Amino acid sequence: MMGLSRILALVAALTLAACGGGEQISAIYELTASPTPPVSRGTTAQILVPEPRALEALASNKIAVKPTELTISYYPEVAYQDTVPRVLQRVLLDTFQNTGRVNAVGLPGQSLLINYQVVTEVRSFQVETYAGDKARVVVAVKLLNDSNGRVLSSRIFDTMVPLSSDAPEPAMVGMNQAVQQLSADIVNWTLAQI
């Protein structure tokens, strides 16, 4: 009979293998919200942050890299801590909360009486190595009035951060900076619209 520690080790190994589609994962990179995002105003409204939509190439935990304008590949043996849409959703939620100026912000299923939804679609979430190395995140955002379903405003946010190298570690530092900047921009824009 297999011991509990051996079973847990086997489950962990299978989980890591599944994260990379059978590929061995040697590093998982975490993207985080800015702990003190600057905002010019606050709100008493309650805000919902649904999971962003994304095409399949960006809807995984793989770290995308574009060597040309028309191709997407992935860094081998590294991954994000979750799928890109869930990572972005968490960073947006944390950014709203970290401002300290939003009455309530939550995820679907948390039983908040919602006033507004911040509906997002991931258009780009990658390292680009053509025409200079950079981290790039592009997100389309709609601010939705939850009581009547009307879109109050919409905007496309495009954030780029130059990279010192396209190696995974500096690339992920740049991706984290890009996601933090983009999330702070979305939060400020949202608060200005409400």
Segment 155-180 shows an average pLDDT of 97
Segment 164-174 shows an average pLDDT of 96
Q: What is the pLDDT of residue 112?
A: 86
Give the domain 4-193 fold: Rossmann fold (3.40.50)
- Of all helices (H) and strands (E), which one includes residue 142? strand 134-145
Counting residues of the chain whose pLDDT is more than 70, the rounded percentage is: 89
Quick check: 17 pLDDT over 80?
Answer: no
Quick check: 5 pLDDT over 70?
Answer: no
Q: What is the pLDDT of residue 8?
A: 44
Segment 112-135 shows an average pLDDT of 96
pTM of the model: 0.86
pLDDT, tens only, 27-36: 999 999 999 9
Quick check: 139 pLDDT over 90?
Answer: yes
Q: 36-39: long-range contacts (C-beta < 8 A, 24 or more apart)?
A: 36/98, 37/95, 37/98, 37/99, 37/180, 37/183, 37/184, 37/187, 37/188, 38/184, 38/188, 39/99, 39/101, 39/184, 39/187, 39/188, 39/191
Segment 147-166 shows an average pLDDT of 96
Quick check: 162 pLDDT over 90?
Answer: yes
Counting residues of the chain whose pLDDT is more than 90, the rounded percentage is: 85
| Predicted confidence band of residue 22 (pLDDT cuts 50, 70, 90) | low
Q: What is the largest CA-CA distance in the chain?
A: 62
Q: What is the pLDDT of residue 82?
A: 98
pLDDT, tens only, 55-104: 999 999 999 999 999 999 999 999 999 999 999 999 999 999 999 999 89
186 in Cβ contact with 139 (< 8 Å)? yes
Q: What is the pLDDT of residue 113?
A: 93
Q: Give the chain's radius of gyration (CA, Å).
A: 18
pLDDT, tens only, 51-63: 999 999 999 999 9
* Domain positions in the chain: 4-193
